[in-house]
Structure 1
Amino acid sequence: MPKSTPDAINNELKAWAARGVESHFKHPIKGNDWVSVDQKIPSLLSPIVGALENEVACMGTLTMNLNSLLTSFYKPTEKRFKIMFDKGAFPSDYYAMLNQVRLHGFDENALIQIGPKEGETYVKTEDILKAIEENGDSIAVVCFPGIQYYTGQFFNIEKITAKAHSKGCLVGWDLAHAAGNVELKLHDWNVDFAAWCHYKYLNSGPGAIGGFFINEKYTKDEDWKPRLAGWWGNNAEDRFKMLEQFDPIPSALGFRQSNPSVFDVVSLQSSLETFQKCGGIKKLREKSIKLTNYAEKILHESPYYKTIEESKTTKSPHFIILTPENPDERGAQLSLLFKPHNDDASKDTMEQVFKYLNDHGVICDERRPNVIRLGPTPSYNTFTNCFDCVTLINEALAQLS
C-alpha cells in the first residue's frame, strides 16, 4: 500500500462526514470535488500504458470493462465472427469470450485458442503470427493477455497487433498482469482497445477500480459505434440537465457508465503518484529486469533446479522454470513448476514448499496443480528479498528430499 493512501481516503471520509452529498460540488479541499474526481487519473495513467491522455480512463473492474469493450468492438459477420485468444488465459477471459460469441448466436467453435506446443512451456510469437495468418479471414477480434498470468510470458504486443491488423482483425489486450509491470506503448503500437486492473502491480487496493484504453481514432467521431453507456460518459456540461440525448465525451471518458467510487479513485491516484515519484514505469522496469535476472540466476544455482529434459528423469523433489529466459519476453515474474505432484496436498511438493515459504514470511502465489509464481516487484522488493526467498525454497526442498 502506498504510504499516502490512508490520508487520501481519510480526507474523503472527513468530507463525507462534514458535507455529505455536497462534496460533489463543495468539497472541503479545493480541487477534490467528487463530480470530477476521476478526471485527474488520465494524466497519471497514460504514461504507465503508453497512451494519450484522451485514450485512457478508470471505470468498473477488469472483466466488466473487457465485456463492455467487446460489446463495442466485437461485431461479428457471417464470414468474420471468431475470437482468437490465449489457451492458458485467466479463466475469466475465457468466460467473457465464450459468452460474447453466445450472445451473438455462435457456439464455442467461434473461439480459437492458441497454446504452447507439446514439450514447450510458453507460446512462441511465430506460432501466434502463423495462426493469425491461417485464420485471419474468419477472425473478428484478437484478444490476448499482455502477460500470461501462469507463465509470466510478455507477449509481443506490437508484432501481434500489426499482424492481426494486416488480416483485417480488431485487436484488444487484457493487461491485468502487464499494466505497471512492463513498459507499454499502446498508442504507438496502434492497439484498438485494452482493459486492466489496478490491484496487482499498480497497488491500488483489493478489488480496485479498473482501467481501459480506447485508441483515439475511435473517439474522434461522436457517432462511432454504440456502447454500454451511462451518464458519466455523457457531455459533462449537459449531464445534470437530464436530457434524453446521449452526447458522448469525445475521448475514452465517453465510455464510462456510472459515477465511480471516490475511495477507489483516490486510492488509485495515490498509487499512480507514487509511480511518478519513482521515476515512472521506464525506470522501474530497468530495476525489474535486474531483480528478475538475479532471482533467475540464483534459482539456476539451486541444487533442486532442473531443465525440462532433466526433469523427465528426476524422481526426487525439484523445480523447473516455465517463464521465458529472455528478459524482454517476461515481466517481474518467474513461475516455478514443482515435482513430483501428489493430489494429497500434505504430500505434494509445491504445496509443502509454498507452506514453508508462507510460514517464513514470503508472500508469493500458488497456482494449482504445481506452480508457485514469484514476483520480484521493483517498487518495493530488493535483491536481498530475492536471495532470502531462494534460500527458503532450497531449505524447503531439502526437508522433502
Structure 2
Amino acid sequence: MEFSNTREFARSMDKEDPLATYKDEFIFPEVNNKKVIYFTGNSLGLQPKSAKKYVDEVMDDWANLAVEGHFYAEKPWWDYHERFSEKLAKVVGAKPPEITVMNTLTVNLHLLMVSFYRPDAKRYKIICEEKAFPSDQYMIASQVKFHGFNPEDAVVEVKKRAGENHFRTEDILKKIEEIGDECALVLFGGVNYYSGQVLDMETITRAGHEIGAKVGWDLAHAVGNIELKLHEWNVDFAAWCSYKYMNSGPGNASGCFINEKYHELKEIPRFEGWWGHSKERRFLMEPEFQPEPDAHAWQISNAPILALAPYLASLDMFEKVGMPALIEKRNKIVAYLEFVLHQIDEEVESDFEIITPSNQNERGTQLSVFLHGEGKELFNYLMKNGVIIDWREPNVIRLAPAPFYCSYEDMYEFGQILKRGILKI
C-alpha cells in the first residue's frame, strides 16, 4: 500500500478500519482540553469503559452477598480465575489447561523458577539477554544466589554486536550451544522492552531443549501484541503482566503458561497453597496437598477478585475481536507511523533513527526512535502538547500505537506536532 502523509489519507484509512469504533470503548486523558494521542500502551494500557461495570459487579456482590459471594455471585469468586484460561489460551497459543492467572509478573517468574530452575553442580547457568528489563535482571541474579551460585559465573548474557541495535538469533543459538550441558535454563524477554525487537521464540526454545535446558519466556511486552504459539513451540513456562497491551489496570494480575507435560508430575517442586489444591476438596481443609490437574496447581492464595475484574473486562474484548484482527491493524498502523516519521525526518532535515527492526516479523506495536541531537526537551514538548510517549535513557522515545484505541489520524497528527516541536526547539 502507498501511504500519504496527509490528514485526508489518514481519515480514509480510519474509515476502512474495522476496529475504528473500539477507540470509543476506552477513556482518554486530556491535555489542553483535548484527548491525548496515547502511545504508551506498552507501559500502561488505557482504561476500557467496561472495566468499571465489571468492578461494580464485584462490589455489588460483596455488598449484597458478603461471604456468600464466593459461591452465589453471578461470577462466583472461588473459581473466578478459571474464566481466564480459555480466553487467554487463544491470545498466547496454548491449551486452556495450560493457563492460570495469579499474583504479579516477577512474583510469578520467581514461583515458576522453583519448578523450572533446578541447578546442580554441573548444570546451573542461566542464559538471558544483555540489559534485560531490570526486574528480570534482579530476579535472575537473586535466584542463582539463592541456590548458592555467583551471578558473575552463573548468569550468561547474550550481547548485541558492537554498533548494532538488535540481537542476532545466530548469536543466541551460538551461546546456547557454547554453554551446553552447563545450562539449566534459557530465559529471555519475548519482545525486548527497549528496542521493541521480537525474538525468534520457536527457534530459541528448540535450541535450549536440544542441550537439555528448560526454556521460559517473560512475555510482558508480547501478550496482546504479537502472535504466540506457546504450546506448539513446546515452551516449558511463561509469564506476563496484564496492564500493558491487555489494558487491565496498573500493577494488575499476571498470567502464566505451564506446559501440559508437567501437569501430571505430582512430585514436581513448587511452592504450594490451598488454591492449588483440588477444587472439589479445597474446603475440606485436608492436611495433604492434592494438586489441581492443570496449571491451576501453581495457584497459592485465593484470587484478588477486584483486581481480576477489569482484566476480564478487557479480555472479553480480545475474545470478541481476536488476535488476527488486532495484528492485521497493528501491522498497518505501525507501518504508517514509520512512514510518517521518515516523512517528517526529511521535511525538517532531522536525524531520527528507528532502532526497532524494519522487518514486520521482528517487531510488534512498538517503534523505538533514537532522537539524535534532539534530547529530552523535545520529549517534554510532545508531552505538553498532548502526545503521551515514553522516554528511555539515553535518548530514546518509545511509540506504541495500540490497535484497539489508536487511529491513523493520530499518526498524522503526531507527525505534525513532532515537526512543530523540532522547528520550535
Q: Same fold per TM (> 0.5)?
A: yes
SS at match of 1:77: coil
Deviation of 1:304 (Å): 6.0
Q: What secondary structure, in the 3-state scheme, does the structure 2 residue paired with 1:164 have?
A: helix
2:63 corresponds in structure 1 to 17
User: CA RMSD for the aligned pairs?
Assistant: 1.4
Give yes or no for the alignment of 1:184 onto 2:217.
no
Which residue of 1 is the match for residue 342 of structure 2? 300
User: Which residue pairs with 1:4 in the alignment?
Assistant: 50
Contact residue 326 and residue 403 of structure 2 kept, 8 A: yes
Aligned residue pairs total 378
Q: Within 5 Å, which residues of 2 pair with 1:208-223?
A: 208-223=252-267
Say if 2:375 and 2:395, in contact at 8 Å, map to a contact too: yes
Q: For the residues of structure 1 that align with 2:163 and 2:138, how far apart are their CA atoms? A: 27
> Cα offset for 1:295?
0.8
Matched, 1:174 2:218: yes
- Tell me, which stretches of 5 or more residues in structure 1 are unaligned? 307-315, 341-348
Q: Please list, as runs of the form range in 1=range in 2, the aligned pairs for 1:189-338 lying within 5 A after superposition.
A: 189-223=233-267, 225-278=268-321, 280-303=322-345, 318-338=351-371
Residue among 48, 62, 78 paired with 1:35:
78
CA distance, structure 2, for counterparts of residue 392 and residue 114 of structure 1: 38
Q: 2:417 aligns with which of 376, 392, 398?
A: 392
CA distance in 2, matches of 1:219, 1:186: 16
Cα distance in 2 for partners of 1:303, 1:24 equals: 57
- Residue of structure 2 equivalent to 1:375: 400
Quote how far apart the aligned CAs of 1:240 are: 1.1
CA contact (8 A) 2:345 2:352 kept: no
Distance 2:302 2:346 in 1: 52
Distance in 2 separating the partners of 1:128 and 1:289: 26
Where has structure 1 moved over 3 Å in runs of 4 or more? none
Higher relative contact order (CA 8 A, sep 6+): 2
> Residue 173 of structure 2 aligns with which residue?
129
Identity %: 43
For the residues of structure 2 that align with 1:317 and 1:199, how far apart are their CA atoms?
34
1:94 is paired with a residue of what secondary structure?
A: helix
| Residue identity in the other structure for 2:272 | A
Shift of 1:37: 1.0
Contact 2:129–2:158 (CA under 8 A) maintained in structure 1: yes
Secondary structure at the aligned position of 1:212 is classed as strand
Q: Which runs of 5+ in 2 are unaligned?
A: 1-46
> What displacement does 1:18 show?
1.5
Q: Which range moves more in the overlay, 331-340 or 183-192?
A: 331-340
Q: Which residue of 2 aligns with 1:362?
A: 387
Corresponding position of 1:312: none
In structure 2, what residue type is equivalent to 1:288?
Answer: R
Residues 81 and 303 of structure 2 are in contact (CA less than 8 Å); yes or no, is this contact kept in structure 1?
yes
